[in-house]
Amino acid sequence: METMLAVLVGWLVAAAVYLMLSRSLVRYLFGLVLISNAANLAVFASGRLSTSAPALVQPGQLAPAADVANALPQALILTAIVIGFGLLAFAFVLAFRAREELGTVDTDAMRVAEPPALTPAAAVDREGRSAA
Amino acid sequence: MSWLLAAPILTPMTTAIVCLLVRRHARVERAVSVAGGGLLLAPCLMLLVAVWNGGPLAGQMGSWPAPYGITLVADLFSAVMVAIAGLTGFAVAVYGVADIDRERQRFGFHTLYHILLGGVCGAFLTGDLFNLYVWFEVMLIASFALITLGGERAQLDGAVKYAAINLVSTVLLLTAIGLTYGATGTLNMADLSVRVGAVENQGLVSVLAVLFLIALGIKAAVFPLFFWLPASYHTPPVAVTAILSALMTKVGVYALMRVFTLIFTDDVGFTHTLLLWVAALTMITGVLGAAAQTDVRRILSFHIVSQIGYMVLGLALYTPLAIAGAVFYLVHNILAKTSLFLVGGMMGRLGGCQELSRIGGFYQSAPLLAVIFLIAAFSLAGFPPLSGFWAKFILVKASLDLEHYVIAAVALGVGLMTIYSMTKIWILGFWKPAPGGSDTAPVPAPSPGETTLRLAPAAALTALTVVLGVSPEPFLEVATRAAAELFEPRAYVEAVLGERP
């Protein structure tokens, strides 16, 4: 079981990395969805996979009678899913707004915050103006 | 459960809620925000005093004993970081009143700002790895919103890069935490420090250490993972840049120092050598990047990166003296860097932009600003008798003690390059007469009230670096003791887990 899950996580990460290396912001975000699910599955596996009972205590007892599954990784994943969902929702809206304002989802074409270096001619022009 | 431990988290969260409740009354909201910043300072300083007098404090949430419950814990290092966070949080809140326009305030600047502060304090105080992850996310979502607030073109561009890389770091951190739980069966940091040594497969522990190094390295902006920082930090209003530079990356450094002094200390030859390389390259690339820039804020952004290198250097050398140097450097850098960003913001306010070719003459037109800049810049570059000198002196001495001559030379050389950048701002921004070309629109002069709100925080922070520099002895003692606690975390572990036989 662990092997299968490991292979699945591996495939998910591979697909996610492939998507995230793309210049398109939308593909990047889909890659992010995949890789965060891969991370969740990895956390799930850290609690050991077993077919034991849910971690419930019978009335009147202080400890569960039989072997129980580890509930902590599941709680961690639940938290991670909620956080991940919020972040993803933000990221998608950000991508949408960036498309509206900048007119592109190609991350290489987004050069507003870091404009490309001035060509020598343009630099001379600018120097000339500031000296004048 | 000591209330003192929870107060630095609860105060900003409460302030955030009150800001939201009074958001229809702009003046009231600003007053609440400043008052909340000032109020935060009280529990932060009280915590520092309590930890200084009584040793590490720990509290268990909901009274579930460690390692099962969520632990809040403050050793001296945490307490110092919380205190400095409260201090800069207050200073930048005051500056924000003048710097943030009506539109951004209406969209919740003050609320987000205090949520960010709460997240920072939470990350400093938590004793649980998964909880650390959650606090990182609280900070991250608040910083995302702060960076995009206003929605200018450059801001959206910067935010895309900021968000994209930080989300990857989030996923890596979660994976690292999950695998750590799988390997050790605990997430409590004090418990981990005991148990990691007992893991059979020590190769796996090294893998985990590197995963943490990458995940937290992205947050701390170390080489080669820092490119998001200079791409985004110069786009939002200065108040946002100042608080992000003061606290966000430093939380990454804090987490690195915590993890690599408490948990991954068994294979120092591997992990800390790696950190040493990271430190050297971070210092060099950051300072070279700054040399190529001509915009005040972009120069300062690259200098954040280079100075992160010094802090990581202290951690990498891993001697009590070096870690004390790193703690000293963290505090000094937060003070000096925040002050410089605030000065840069004032230059931008007076000149209409922060591009050095289009502004100038502030030595004549704003002499007080020039004095503040000069002191903060010399402190950053490491001139005696300012705080930066002592911070660098300790780190260089620590590397010479270990006979790491190359890294000592790098640290000194990078200091020289820092002087070059600071001189560039000084000559072009302060000495050179204002260009007054046709492309600079005239800017309305700030009112005396606005000038005070902008200059007072910068002046106060700069004054602190002077105090720290002129009489470093008391703080050096604090840093040395904090480093001793980090280096020998027995007291920390006992505070969390109780007395060990």
State the virtual CA torsion across B98, B138, B150, A99 in degrees, nearest 10. 160
Nearest CA in chain A to B147: A94
> Are the Cβ atoms of A102 and B144 closer than 8 angstroms?
no
What distances in angstroms separate CA B220 from CA A90, B157, B183, B217, B245, one per listed residue? 22, 21, 25, 5, 10
Give helix then strand counts, H and E, for chain A. Answer: 4, 0
Nearest CA in chain B to A21: B164
Calculate mean pLDDT across residues B376-380.
Answer: 91
Supply the pLDDT for residue A122: 53
Backbone angles phi, psi at B430, to 5 degrees: -110, -45
Q: How many CB atoms lie within 10 A of CB B438?
A: 7
The per-residue DSSP string of B385-449 comes to: TSHHHHHHHHHHHHHHHTT-HHHHHHHHHHHHHHHHHHHHHIIIIIISPP---TTS---PPPPHH
Q: How far apart are CA B12 and CA B64, in angstroms?
A: 25
> Are the Cβ atoms of B148 and A112 closer than 8 angstroms?
no
Confidence of residue A128 (pLDDT cuts 50, 70, 90): very low
Point out the residue among A87, A98, A114 whose CB comes nearest to the CB of B167. Answer: A87
Between B373 and B364, residue with greater pLDDT = B373
Supply the pLDDT for residue B440: 54
Chain B residues in contact with A20 (beta carbon < 8 A): 168
Is 50 exceeded by the pLDDT of residue A115?
yes
Supply the pLDDT for residue A131: 44
Is 50 exceeded by the pLDDT of residue A130?
no
The 10s digit of each residue's pLDDT in B230-243 is: 888 888 999 999 99
| DSSP-derived 3-state class of residue B150 | coil
Confidence of residue B499 (pLDDT cuts 50, 70, 90): low
CB B101 within 8 A of CB A47: no
Range with lowest mean pLDDT among A46-50, B80-84, B376-380: A46-50
* One-letter identity of residue A67: D
Q: How far apart are CA B468 and CA B390, in angstroms?
A: 9
Is 60 exceeded by the pLDDT of residue A66?
yes
Give the A-side interface with B, CB within 8 Å. Answer: 20, 25, 28, 32, 35-36, 39-40, 42-48, 72-73, 76, 79-80, 83-84, 86-87, 90-91, 94-95, 97-98, 101-102, 107, 110-114, 126-127, 129-130, 132
Calculate mean pLDDT across residues B459-467.
Answer: 92
Residue in this structure with the two tokens 């309305």, named with its chain if needed: B444
Q: How far apart are CA B478 and CA B261, in angstroms?
A: 18
Supply the pLDDT for residue A132: 39
Å between B323 CA and nearest CA of chain A:
33
Q: How many CB atoms lie within 10 A of CB B37?
A: 27
User: What is chain B's mean pLDDT, rounded?
Assistant: 89
Supply the pLDDT for residue B361: 83
Strands B71-74, B57-60: parallel, antiparallel or unpaired by DSSP?
antiparallel
> Are the Cβ atoms of A90 and B137 closer than 8 angstroms?
no
> Are the Cβ atoms of B174 and A80 closer than 8 angstroms?
yes
* One-letter identity of residue B135: W
Is 50 exceeded by the pLDDT of residue B501?
no
Is 60 exceeded by the pLDDT of residue B1?
no
Supply the pLDDT for residue B136: 94
The 10s digit of each residue's pLDDT in B212-233 is: 999 999 999 998 889 889 888 8
Supply the pLDDT for residue A119: 54
Percentage, residues of chain B above pLDDT 70: 98
Nearest CA in chain B to A98: B156
Supply the pLDDT for residue B448: 84
What distances in angstroms separate CA B477 from CA B49, B386, B474, one per listed residue? 14, 17, 5
Point out the residue among A39, A48, A72 whose CB comes nearest to the CB of B171. Answer: A39
* One-letter identity of residue B268: V
Residue in this structure with the two tokens 């606690």, named with its chain if needed: B485
Q: How far apart are CA B176 and CA A26, in angstroms?
A: 26
* Single pTM value for the model: 0.92
Nearest CA in chain B to A114: B231
The 10s digit of each residue's pLDDT in B281-315 is: 999 999 999 988 888 889 999 999 999 999 999 99
Q: How far apart are CA B361 and CA B23, in angstroms?
A: 39
Calculate mean pLDDT across residues B360-375.
Answer: 88
Å between A80 CA and nearest CA of chain B:
8
Å between A67 CA and nearest CA of chain B:
17
Peptide bond just before B56 cis, omega within 30 deg:
no
> Are the Cβ atoms of A76 and B181 closer than 8 angstroms?
yes
| DSSP-derived 3-state class of residue A39 | helix
The 10s digit of each residue's pLDDT in B183-220 is: 998 899 998 988 888 888 888 899 999 999 999 999 99
Nearest CA in chain B to A29: B164
Chain A residues in contact with B151 (beta carbon < 8 A): 97, 101
Supply the pLDDT for residue B441: 59
Calculate mean pLDDT across residues B127-146.
Answer: 93
Nearest in space to B240 (alpha carbons), one of B126, B366, B134, B154: B154
> Are the Cβ atoms of A46 and B175 closer than 8 angstroms?
no
Residue in this structure with the two tokens 């998507």, named with its chain if needed: A19
Confidence of residue B439 (pLDDT cuts 50, 70, 90): low
Å between A82 CA and nearest CA of chain B:
11
Nearest CA in chain B to A101: B153
> Are the Cβ atoms of A90 and B175 closer than 8 angstroms?
no
Confidence of residue B436 (pLDDT cuts 50, 70, 90): low
Is 60 exceeded by the pLDDT of residue A121?
no
Point out the residue among A87, A114, A126 whose CB comes nearest to the CB of B357. Answer: A126
Nearest-10 crossing angle of helices A72-102, A25-46: 170
Q: How far apart are CA A111 and CA A115, in angstroms?
A: 5
Q: How far apart are CA B125 and CA B144, in angstroms?
A: 22
Calculate mean pLDDT across residues B261-274.
Answer: 87
CB B279 within 8 A of CB B310: yes
CB A86 within 8 A of CB B221: no
> Are the Cβ atoms of B164 and A28 closer than 8 angstroms?
yes
Supply the pLDDT for residue A129: 47
Å between A114 CA and nearest CA of chain B:
6
List of residues 6+ apart from B204 with CB closer than 8 A: B179, B183
ipTM: 0.87
Pick the residue of B129, B144, B157, B301 with the most A CBs within 10 A to test the interface with A by mutation. Answer: B157
SS3 per residue for B216-266: HHHHHCCCCCCCHHHHHCCCCCHHHHHHHHHHHHHHHHHHHHHHHHHCCCC
Measured CA angle at B198 (ends B197, B200), to 5 deg = 110
* One-letter identity of residue A13: V
Q: How many CB atoms lie within 10 A of CB B159?
A: 28
Point out the residue among A28, A35, A72 whose CB comes nearest to the CB of B171. Answer: A35
What distances in angstroms separate CA B473 from CA B218, B311, B477, one per listed residue? 34, 20, 6
Nearest in space to B151 (alpha carbons), one of A102, A121, A21: A102
Supply the pLDDT for residue A27: 93
**A-B C-beta contacts closer than 8 Å:** 115
Give the length of chain B: 501
Pick the residue of B130, B167, B188 with the most A CBs within 10 A to test the interface with A by mutation. Answer: B167
Per-residue exposure over A31-65, b if at least 16 CB sit within 10 Å of its own CB, e if not: bbbbbbbbbbbbbbbbbeeeeeeeeeeeeeeeeee
Nearest in space to B262 (alpha carbons), one of B490, B498, B56, B489: B489
Point out the residue among A39, A102, A114 whose CB comes nearest to the CB of B178. Answer: A39
Chain A residues in contact with B158 (beta carbon < 8 A): 113
